[in-house]
Structure 1
């Protein structure tokens, strides 16, 4: 197995305690891999203008970490791109501050890439803190599967073999290794040449949707994205974003609309109209069943009309 260096990039924004835990677990994985292979693993933490003292704590507690302290939150895309431009190693690992590695994670992903040189980007399995399975990728958005997702019938139609949904939710999909169309930005292990050729995330996206947008360009450039079921990490899912469900959902919808405006401009109006209709129906439905949810969907609808 080749001795390949890695640069690990971790974004942090007001998640001091979670980021500390992430770095501690990352250090164990780093030490294990370096001892086994004799390689070098550099860690860059991009602190996006945190107000909780995260940057200072990291500098004081973990002097082996390279900290990029920004004056403001530039967003997921810009923050990661900024760090990736500094990379000189053959491999890059992007993780969120709420993604926790196991001791052998870095060693195993390098081994997987070494044994499969045709793979350019690798995704591992995700588990929640309670050990439960978490979906982490799927098929690229298109007007049909996006509209069906808005109406929440995409998974039903996938289960009977009619469509390919954007996020695939079923455990059976992730039970074996497979090529993917897009993977979650919470863990992306890639060859540096992927970034060099595609220039990274679209910086017009602040948060949500940047992972599948970049994966589309990665696929279009001829690179292969692979998922492996043999390696897993813990993902707290949402702990690094501090977003309430309504705010998060609005950002997801904004990401879908931007994606279609960029790649399917002919259908952008239809996709947006379907979004408004689906939210209107949910608002009416939950007005009868659940007033709290109805208020949330009403607010989401109001914000979506501004998109």
Structure 2
């Protein structure tokens, strides 16, 4: 069956109220849509929540294992690639993302009028309304190392100012290098040309890797005219286990794209900074 929009949400022991809240947001999207809950949990408790809603717009998939964030989304992406499912656009989102009515429609309206766009992302705030610097340059190893392991506040802030494009006003529509993986709105055709998530990443940086590959074929656009709220963030800052997973993902990313010599990183970052007359 054909849909205007397919949506995938990966869950793992997700709170009932959290899931219901995001589904209520998606209910406001007035499009022919299908929502897939790809559940990486140990049990099927979430299935009961879906069954209670009794909606033919929502499909629950129990994966019976947790192979990671990207792998969970790939379950649905594989359906699109195998033509078991057909849509014009696909939304990859977290279960802790919330937004008001018309957000998705406005993003799609802009996207439909700009055919070169492969991925678009909105302005993102935290629960307290603080802006999330979600439009980033391609990272260097130092960006990630300094943030976590060398607590020299002034140096880290200076590096983040550059890496998180804080010199950009976050009000203009701009072509970015990397956007947040918590809300990735894509043309479905992207999967045929770019592929799916690299499952070598269990969690963290799989969105950077995927976004980077999209940017090689399409425009990746930050569209701050609409806003979403991302309730949770930086879980690796609170858990040693998640920190180790983050480190492993960073190793995977830089082994793949380059530690010191990364021509694409240099060219793209330089181009973006030039737009705003940033010389360093």
Same fold? TM cut 0.5:
yes
Q: Which residue of 2 aligns with 1:234?
A: 229
Deviations 1:134-185 (A, max 9, x none): 22230112345445545463541464xxxx42x44x3854222111111111
SS at match of 1:217: helix
Aligned match of 1:96 in 72, 82, 94?
94
Of structures 1 and 2, the larger Rg is shown by 1
Please tell me whether the aligned partners of residues 133 and 171 of structure 1 are also in contact (alpha carbons under 8 angstroms).
no
> CA separation of 1:181/1:228 partners in 2, compared to 1, >3 Å: closer, same or farther?
same
Aligned residues: 249
Task: Let me know the Cα RMSD of the aligned residues.
Answer: 2.6
Does 2:39 align with 1:43? no
Equivalent position of 1:209 in the other structure: 205
Instruction: List per-residue Cα deviations over 1:65-114 (Å, max 9, x = no partner).
Output: 11111211221111111111223101100110001132111211111112
Q: 1:186 to 1:158 in 2, by over 3 A?
A: closer
Determine the C-alpha separation between the residues in 2 that align with 1:214 and 1:111: 23
Determine whether 1:120 maps to 2:118.
yes
Q: TM-score under structure 2 normalisation?
A: 0.80
In 2, distance between residues paired with 1:119 and 1:252? 29
Are 2:70 and 2:203, in contact at CA under 8 Å, matched by a contact in 1?
yes
The 1:103–1:52 alpha-carbon spacing in structure 2 relative to 1, beyond 3 Å, is same
Distance in 2 separating the partners of 1:96 and 1:237: 10
Pick from 57, 60, 63: which aligns with 2:52? Answer: 60
**Separation in 2 of the partners of 1:116 and 1:83?**
26
State the 1:209 CA deviation.
0.9
| Corresponding residue to 1:139 among 121, 130, 137 | 137
Contact 2:118 2:214 (C-alpha < 8 Å) held by counterparts: no
Contact 1:12 1:46 in 2 (8 A): yes
Q: Who is 2:214 aligned against?
A: 218
**Residue 130 of structure 1: how far off its partner (Å):** 2.2
Moved more, 41-50 or 87-96: 41-50
Inter-partner Cα distance in structure 2 for 1:245 and 1:107:
36
What is aligned with 2:273? none
Instruction: Give the corresponding residue for 1:249.
Output: 243
Long gaps (5+) in structure 1? 35-39, 268-307
Q: Which has the higher helix share?
A: 1
CA contact (8 A) 2:127 2:229 kept: yes
User: Tell me, what secondary structure is at the counterpart of 1:68?
Assistant: strand
What SS does structure 2 have at the residue aligned with 1:86?
A: helix
Contact in 1 for aligned 2:124/2:230 (Cα 8 Å): yes
- 1:5 paired to 2:4: yes
